[in-house]
Amino acid sequence: MTENRIALVTGAAGGIGQAVCRALAEQGLQVVLADLELAPVQAVMESLPGHGHRAASVDISNVASVEQLFASLLDDGVQVSVLVNTAAISPVGEGGAVIDVKGTTPELWEKVFAVNAFGTYAVCRAFVMQVGDNTQHGRIINFASTGAQLGGYRSCTAYVASKAAVIAFTKALAREMAPLNITANVVSPGLIDTPMLRTRLAPEDDHKSVGLVPLSRVGLPEEVAAAVSYLVEPKAAYVTGSTLDVNGGYYMV
Ligand SMILES: NC(=O)c1ccc[n+]([C@@H]2O[C@H](COP(=O)([O-])OP(=O)(O)OC[C@H]3O[C@@H](n4cnc5c(N)ncnc54)[C@H](O)[C@@H]3O)[C@@H](O)[C@H]2O)c1
């Protein structure tokens, strides 16, 4: 297949988001890099191989902001056929401590759900509204977490529950999108060396946390991006509604 697909990656300034953008650009896709602030995604965009990439700011928890992003892409004749939602938040307490349920105020719960669950829905919905009936190799890839599958160790209950919502939402979406031959899958990372992990785990303490990981180490963003690359490939056309674990064996179904 001659690659002419355009991918939108949310959270593109993040640790995993950057690696995903690079992997997709290396596969020959044009990438729309979106995150809260424009400057960081512009910098990532300039470092990517290939051409036709774009940078945009979006707050995925804000419907108007999401709609504005898709409207401006449409204005420029840009139709997205691959969507990768990596944007998320995972709040921590003082010194990286887990915020327990008593410390999880209704406002904090709502904020986490607004970004991780509602935001993922809002971007998927806007994507579905603009996708064509004859899209070739359309893909939706949402991000969960081993925490949602294990009950979490390092993350607050709101984060864990919001990521469980992403898994269930994506399965239902996979059924809806099947008639269009668009797949919808989840990538579920374990401990991955990014700013999100480093808010709660210092590198010198990795050995304390990897004891339950059969591969005995923290993973790399590029190893997560490789899973996204696979799902984006035309040869992954029969994989939908699945959760692809990238966790060193931390959780096995
Ligand atoms: N790093 C890990 O160990 C780990 C483990 C399990 C799951 N994950 C998941 O992988 C994904 C990527 O995580 P990461 O480690 O790269 O995190 P990260 O914190 O490095 O990046 C997250 C990005 O999302 C962006 N973002 C946050 N709120 C946003 C909003 N409202 N609108 C738009 N963008 C927003 C941030 O600005 C940031 O650039 C997330 O969904 C995360 O939950 C990560």
118-129 pLDDT, tens digit per residue, is 999 999 999 999
Both tokens of 1, joined, read: 């297949």
Ligand 1 centroid–CA 134 distance in Å is 31
Pocket probe mutation, ligand 1, options 9, 118, 121, 196, max atoms within 8 Å of Cβ = 196
Maximum separation of any 2 CA atoms in the chain, in Å: 53
Q: What pLDDT, on a 0 to 100 scale, did the predictor assign at position 111?
A: 98
Quick one: pLDDT at residue 2? 81
Helix (H) or strand (E) holding 239: none
What is the 11 CA–ligand 1 centroid distance (Å)?
6
**CA–CA gap between residue 71 and residue 74 (Å, rounded):** 5
- DSSP string for residues in 96-164: G----TTT--HHHHHHHHIIIIIHHHHHHHHHHHH--TT-TT-EEEEE--HHHHHT-SSS-HHHHHHHH
Two tokens, residue 96: 């990286």
Give the dihedral sign, CA 217/190/32/112: negative
Check 121, 159, 250, 251 and give the catalytic one: 159
Could you give the CA distance from residue 60 to residue 247 in angstroms, rounded to a whole number?
A: 26
Classify the C-alpha dihedral 15-17-20-22 as positive or negative: negative
Ligand 1 centroid, distance to 196 Cα (angstroms): 6
159 in active site: yes
- C-alpha 16 to ligand 1 mean position (Å): 7
Distance CA 118, CA 59 (A): 11
Mean pLDDT of all residues in 134-161: 96
pLDDT, tens digit, 9 for 90 and up, residues 192-225: 999 999 999 999 999 999 999 999 999 999 999 9
Residue ranges around ligand 1 (CB below 6 Å): 10-11, 13-17, 35-36, 58-61, 86-90, 115, 119, 143, 145-146, 189, 191-192, 194-197
pLDDT band at 72 (very low <50, low <70, confident <90, very high): very high
pLDDT digit string, tens, across residues 75-113:
999 999 999 999 999 999 999 999 999 999 999 999 999
Atom of ligand 1 nearest to the CA of 13: 39
3-state DSSP call for residue 213? coil
Which amino acid residue places its CA nearest to atom 2 of ligand 1? 192
Mean pLDDT along residues 132-143: 94
- The pLDDT value recorded for residue 54 is 98
Predicted local distance difference test score (pLDDT) of residue 133: 84
